Amino acid sequence: MTTDIQMDYDDAEKMATILKQASEELRELSSITRQWSTALREGALLGDAGEALASAFGSTLSPRVLSLSEKAAEMGQDVLAAIEAFKAATTEAKGRFG
């Protein structure tokens, strides 16, 4: 039994590019949520509600979005590594059987 494994390099590279872009946009969103938190703490919304929102943006949302950014970047690097590994395996197989 043989199994053919194929990869569309262009699609895989597009996926890596999209993941990198998503990572950058998520990092920017994390920064924006910290700005929102600062604005709320500086008086944009006073009282318990303002403090709760500031805390939610600064202490909860921003770190989680940053974590997603890091994961997207990691996935993009994994895709690029898979492309390189696949190309190397293909070249090696061609050398053995070609």
pLDDT digits (tens, 9 = 90+) for 37-49: 999 999 989 899 9
In a domain, 68, yes or no: yes
The mean pLDDT value for 42-70 works out to 95
Q: Is a pLDDT exceeding 90 seen at residue 93? A: no
List all residues 6 or more positions away from 17 whose beta carbon is below 8 Å from its beta carbon: 76
pLDDT on residue 91: 86
Q: Indicate the number of domains in the chain.
A: 1
Cα–Cα distance list, 82 to 10, 15, 71 (Å): 13, 12, 16
Whether 80 has a pLDDT exceeding 80, the answer reads yes
CA distance 10 to 76: 14
In a domain, 76, yes or no: yes
For residue 95, tell me if it sits in a domain.
no
Q: Which domain holds residue 79?
A: 17-89
Q: Is 65 exposed, middle or buried (0-12, 13-18, 19+ CB in 10 A)?
A: buried
pTM over 0.85: no
pLDDT of 1 above 70: no
